[in-house]
Amino acid sequence: MRNKKVLLFLAQGFEEYEASVFTDVFGWSRAFGIEPVDLITTGLRSEIKCKWNFIVHPEIEFKEINIEDYDALAIPGGFKDSGYYEDAFDQRFLHLIREFDKYKKVIAAVCAAAIPVGQSGVLKGRNATTYDLSDIYGREYLADLGVNVQDKRIVIDNNIITSTGPATGLDVSFKLLEMLTSTENVDEVKKYMRFTNK
């Protein structure tokens, strides 16, 4: 039986910390978890400049994605002035979000990543949240897309997790790991990451 697998989508201008929470939690799950989960990075570009100037190279090309290989989609947020929405609003990516939702696969969006999830249409009539200090693509924008915007740090509506900012990133990552495996697995990973002393 294969390990479960998360696809981490990296858009131009993504916020590095919001991506690193996924790479770390799922990396530790592979090393020390009871139920290891693999994580693969992808993007629309072969080289991506992050918000704080790291340069990354995704592991697989976007065109190589076979949705049947993945159990979840993870999306870090990013900044408009760094080109985030050029990739996040690309129709190829919005289609991928719709496909993950169609098959009830988990979608975990940190901070502004809720905006492309909303833009795809899958959040219409559903509960979600996003970064609350944006005057461009923020909560009003999400509400205009027909989303029931909640004033909460993290909102889970069936298979979709959304959150308000970088500070929620680890919580979103652990919740995603729990939804894919078990609370026992999360506890084991947290123990080795020293979130607990047990």
Domains of the chain: 4-185 (3.40.50.880)
pLDDT surpassing 70 at residue 198:
no
Q: Categorize the per-residue pLDDT at 186 as very low, low, confident or very high, splitting at 50, 70 and 90.
A: very high
Is the dihedral angle over the CA atoms 16, 194, 191, 162 positive or is it negative? negative
How confident is the model at residue 97, as a pLDDT? Answer: 98
Mean pLDDT of 35-64: 96
Give the whole-number percent of the chain exceeding pLDDT 90: 94
Q: What pLDDT does residue 71 have?
A: 98
Residue keyed to tokens 């993007």: 43
Binned at pLDDT 50, 70 and 90, residue 136 comes out as confident
Residue 67, C-beta contacts closer than 8 angstroms, at least 6 positions apart: 96, 99, 100, 103, 105
CB atoms under 10 Å from CB of 82, counted, come to: 18
Residue 197 has pLDDT above 80, yes or no: no
Of 57-61, 109-113, 116-120, 192-196, where does mean pLDDT reach its minimum?
192-196
Q: How far apart are CA 71 and CA 6, in angstroms?
A: 6
Tell me the average pLDDT across 169-183.
98
Instruction: Please write down the HEC assignment for all residues of the chain.
Output: CCCEEEEEECCCCECHHHHHHHHHHHHHHHHHCCCCEEEEEEECCCCEECCCCCEECCCEEHHHCCHHHCCEEEECCECHHHCHHHHHCCHHHHHHHHHHHHCCCEEEECHHHHHHHHHCCCCCCCEECCCCCCCCCCHHHHHHCCCEECCCCEEEECCEEEECCHHHHHHHHHHHHHHHCCHHHHHHHHHHCCCCCC
Residue 134 has pLDDT above 80, yes or no: no
**Mean pLDDT for the stretch of residues 40-49:** 97
CA distance 142 to 148: 8
Q: Closest Cα partner for 95 from 60, 130, 129, 119?
A: 119
Mean pLDDT of the chain: 96
pTM: 0.96
**Does residue 6 register a pLDDT over 70?**
yes
**Percent with pLDDT over 70 in the chain:** 98
